[in-house]
Amino acid sequence: MTLDRALSHPSIHPLDRSFFARGARRVARELLGKLLIRDVGKLRLSARIVEVEAYLGESDPAAHAAAGNTTRNSVLFGPPGYAYVYFIYGNHYCLNVSCEREGKAGSVLFRALEPLRGIEAMARARGITLEGPRDLLRLTTGPGRLAEAFGITRARDNGCDLTSPASGLWIAEDGVFTARIQITPRIGIRKAADLPLRYLLAGNPFVSRPRPSKPALRGARA
DNA sequence: ATATCGATTATCT
DNA sequence: GATAATCGATATG
């Protein structure tokens, strides 16, 4: 296949479950550059993953899994590659994917995406009229925003298999190289707030809001 | 540009 | 009864 054909018709395939059967840091870092896809009827939404956070399981005070296995978070204690959707601040849904293995929690929170396809539909879902380039930045920049753009709710999506296109919400790989990875502390948490577990594509304009004032840890480690 | 605040509810203590 | 892995609006430099 020529490069030109690869660019216009990239082959897209779902990530295997073994991809998620690893530690959350590793999964988080490698999810950067992959695609989140929502299929509803013949409409497809797709967006590149540009910012995520790792949550380490029961030993991580900031993780929902720290409370042990409850009704709310039981997906985290199930097999890897499934959607954990939670409702927060009485207003917003957020999407995670389970990692590790059955019985061992660990997850990655999706924090920001770069919209690729179905942009008009995302704008409708967000209640935004697209007038300038700046409006694109408000579509999927932030965990609550991307969930709204993709129509993700707990009732609809919690527990769905993100490795299966048949589920209508899945994660794909298209062979595009990832840019430089940057690592910073996680955003918006009270506990364990200093651990460097936020992974982002350096310089990507769709990364969520205020860069933390703390000096960012650079390079791709962990 | 950054800072602060209210909204609104499932979940946990 | 308090809290929370957020967002959008408003206030201020």
Q: Give which of A21, A10, A51, A16 is closest to A171, Cα–Cα.
A: A16
| C1'-nearest nucleotide to the CA of A111 | C5
**C-alpha distance from residue A15 to each of A31, A121, A144, A165, A176 (Å):** 10, 25, 24, 10, 14
Per-residue model confidence as pLDDT tens digits over A47-78: 999 999 999 999 999 999 999 999 999 999 99
Is A70 (CB) below 7 Å from strand B?
yes
CA dihedral A177→A179→A184→A187, nearest 10 degrees, is -70
Protein-contacted positions of strand B (CB under 7 Å):
2-3, 7-13
CB neighbour list of residue A20: distance below 8 Å, 6 or more residues apart: A27, A80, A81, A97, A98, A99, A162, A163
Protein-contacted positions of strand C (CB under 7 Å):
3-8
DSSP A195: S
Instruction: Work out whether strand A169-173 and strand A13-14 pair parallel, antiparallel, or are unpaired.
Output: antiparallel
Question: What percent of chain A is modeled with pLDDT above 70?
Answer: 90
Instruction: Give the model's pLDDT for residue A178.
Output: 82
Measured CA A60 to C1' B4 distance, in angstroms: 29
Residue A130's CB is within 10 A of a number of other CB atoms, namely 16
Pick out chain A residues at pLDDT < 50: 6, 213-222
- Alpha helices, H only, A65-213: 119-126, 133-136, 143-149, 154-157
**Three-class secondary structure of residue A217 per DSSP:** strand
Q: How far apart are CA A18 and CA A114, in angstroms?
A: 25
Per-residue model confidence as pLDDT tens digits over A23-35: 999 999 999 999 9
| C1'-nearest nucleotide to the CA of A191 | C5
Instruction: Work out whether strand A217-218 and strand A181-184 pair parallel, antiparallel, or are unpaired.
Output: antiparallel
